Amino acid sequence: MRAPTSVTSRLTHQVTGRDSATSWGNDVPVLATPVLLWLSEITAMQAIEQHLEPDEMTVGLAHESRHLAPTPVGMRVRLTATLIEQRGHKLVFEVRGHDDDDLVLEGRHTRALVHRATFLSTVDAKTVSPAMGVRS
């Protein structure tokens, strides 16, 4: 990886019914926490993607974030992810999210820098063959 000193990415997302807690077993039409966390991961991935070598990728490693306020369906949420630390293969991002009224997310997201072929080989080793019901 061509190590940047600091990079920031921004993402704006319109909250739809598919993003709402009602799609996750809750009865409230607000942005679901798992979706908000996923959006923060996407934002972090976008911040670093242009700095990766062709044989590299990042994978999610940890979240230390707080979902602070509800965002109703129909409202936009704006996320930022800033690379604040690199420790070996670990990349730590500060993540924040705002809707039109409130700070809705703050915390850290850690990604691991991995060799793409090695990672995909691990996935392939765990893949179940649908025809035989056994690992390939």
pLDDT of residue 3: 63
Percent of the chain with pLDDT over 90: 81
| b/e per residue 88-119 (b: at least 16 CB within 10 A) | eeebbbbbbbbbeeeebbbbbbbbebbeeeee
Q: What is the pTM (predicted TM-score) of this model?
A: 0.88
What's the mean per-residue pLDDT of the chain? 92
Is residue 135 predicted with pLDDT exceeding 70? no
Whole-number pLDDT of residue 112: 96
Give the residue, 16 or 3, on which the prediction is more confident. Answer: 16
Class at the top of the CATH hierarchy for domain 8-127: alpha beta
